[in-house]
Amino acid sequence: NAGVTQTPKFQVLKTGQSMTLQCAQDMNHEYMSWYRQDPGMGLRLIHYSVGAGITDQGEVPNGYNVSRSTTEDFPLRLLSAAPSQTSVYFCASSRVLSYGYTFGSGTRLTVV
Q: Which residues bind another protein (CB under 8 A)?
A: 4, 33, 35, 40-45, 48, 50, 56, 58-59, 90, 92, 97-106
Q: Are 3 and 25 in contact (CB under 8 A)?
A: yes
Specify the residue, 2 or 99, whose C-beta has the smaller distance to another protein. Answer: 99
Cα–Cα dist 107/111, whole Å: 13
Specify the residue, 4 or 111, whose C-beta has the smaller distance to another protein. Answer: 4
Torsion sign over Cα 84, 85, 89, 95: positive
Q: Are 75 and 20 in contact (CB under 8 A)?
A: yes
Specify the residue, 77 or 108, whose C-beta has the smaller distance to another protein. Answer: 108
Residue type, 109: L
Specify the residue, 17 or 108, whose C-beta has the smaller distance to another protein. Answer: 108
Distance in Å, CB of 61 to another protein, minimum: 11
Distance in Å, CB of 27 to another protein, minimum: 14
C-alpha 16: how far from chain center: 19
Distance in Å, CB of 15 to another protein, minimum: 26
